[in-house]
C-alpha cells in the first residue's frame, strides 16, 4: 500500500494498531504482520495467513474489514495491490 507520506504514522497508530488484534483474532486468521519497504518508507505491506480462502472471504465481507478499509483507502497516494499466495515449499 502506497500512502501519502504524511499519513503513514496515522495509518500505523490509528488504523492498524487499533484493528490488528481484531483482525488477528478473526476466525481463520493465524498470522498477521505489518512491513515497511526500506527504500520507500511510505509503502507498507500487510501479510496475513488464513486457514483457507473461505475464511479470508468471510473477513473481506465483514464489517471489520469494511470499516478498516474505509479508514485506510483515504490515506493512499497510489492504487493498492493485493496478492493471494499459495505456499509451494519450505526450505
Q: Is residue 12 part of a domain?
A: yes
HSE-up of residue 67 (Cα within 13 Å, Cβ side): 11
pLDDT at 13: 98
The whole-number pLDDT of residue 77 equals 97
Q: Which ranges constitute the DSSP H helices of the chain? A: 8-10, 17-24, 53-60, 63-73
CATH number at residue 53: 3.30.70.100
Asked, for residue 46, whether it belongs to a domain, the answer is yes
Measured in degrees and rounded to the nearest 5, phi and psi for residue 17 equal: -60, -30
Query: CA–CA separation, 18 vs 16, rounded Å?
Result: 5
Indicate the number of domains in the chain: 1
3 state SS of 89: coil
The pTM assigned to this predicted structure is 0.90
Using 70 as the pLDDT threshold, list the residues of the chain that sit under it. none
Which residue, chain included where needed, has cell 488484534? 21
Q: What pLDDT score does 50 carry?
A: 97
Q: What is the pLDDT of residue 30?
A: 97
- Per the structure, the complete domain to which residue 59 belongs is given by 5-73
Amino acid at each position: 500500500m502506497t500512502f501519502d507520506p504524511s499519513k503513514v504514522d496515522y495509518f500505523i497508530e490509528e488504523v492498524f494498531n487499533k484493528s490488528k488484534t481484531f483482525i488477528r483474532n478473526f476466525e481463520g486468521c493465524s498470522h498477521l504482520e505489518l512491513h515497511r519497504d526500506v527504500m520507500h518508507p511510505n509503502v507498507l505491506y500487510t501479510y496475513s495467513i488464513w486457514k483457507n480462502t473461505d475464511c479470508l472471504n468471510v473477513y473481506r465481507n465483514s464489517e471489520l474489514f469494511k470499516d478498516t478499509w474505509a479508514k485506510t483507502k483515504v490515506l493512499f497516494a497510489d492504487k493498492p495491490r493485493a496478492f493471494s499466495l499459495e505456499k509451494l515449499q519450505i526450505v
